[in-house]
A and B are shown apart, each in its own frame.
Chain A
Amino acid sequence: EDKVVQSPLSLVVHEGDTVTLNCSYEVTNFRSLLWYKQEKKAPTFLFMLTSSGIEKKSGRLSSILDKKELFSILNITATQTGDSAVYLCAPEKGTSYDKVIFGPGTSLSVIP
């Protein structure tokens, strides 16, 4: 059975702190891993990672995938209150019908 575990489930930090969000997965026919950010409403896409060791960066956010150990991390440096959101990890299955399996999410609160 496919499984996605994210940790921590919730986190409160102060502005300027650096955070690391974790995602481990057991997914058959794994193809890639996606990260989404969900603020008060719909999730929005952050990254897609397909190869191990490749670090994706977008401003203060970066992410790494380890396909051997089956995990990914999302780092946010110099956090801001606008980073407060739920961060969803979503491995993609490459079967005859591609689909993603969403983890439960990590709720991040950044306080001034």
Chain B
Amino acid sequence: DADVTQTPRNRITKTGKRIMLECSQTKGHDRMYWYRQDPGLGLRLIYYSFDVKDINKGEISDGYSVSRQAQAKFSLSLESAIPNQTALYFCATSDGTSGRIIEQFFGPGTRLTVL
């Protein structure tokens, strides 16, 4: 079984709809991240969480919100989807016990299309 899972894997929605993307991990990591990937722009950080009570905005958090329901679960919401939020979304985890990022483990991605 995959260590980091994302649901749904693909989603098509309409402008103005509320969308939730979910991420679960079995790696036991304390740190979780949400990125979006657009062609030519690489991965950009939306939000990150270093434990259940610690949530921080990344570089492109406008239009998004998150919830860390448990150490293993981190959800990303688009309150009112717009077409320029069409992208590939990745969840990632890392082990923060060393105090370093070292390596992030990525989920398979969610391809979101907003019409």
List A residues at the B interface (Cβ < 8 Å). 4, 9, 31-32, 34, 41-45, 48, 88, 92, 97-105
Contacts of A42 in B (CB 8 A): 4, 90, 106-109
Whether A99 and B45, one on each chain, are in contact in the complex, defined by CB atoms closer than 8 angstroms, is yes
User: How many residues on the B side are at the interface (Cβ–Cβ under 8 A)?
Assistant: 25
Chain B 80-115 interface 0/1 with A at a Cβ cutoff of 8 Å (1 = within)? 000000000010000010011111111111000000
Contacts of B41 in A (CB 8 A): 104
Whether B56 and A43, one on each chain, are in contact in the complex, defined by CB atoms closer than 8 angstroms, is no
Bound Cα distance from A99 to B35, whole angstroms? 12
Partner of B42, one of A32, A48, A102: A102
Contacts of A41 in B (CB 8 A): 108-109
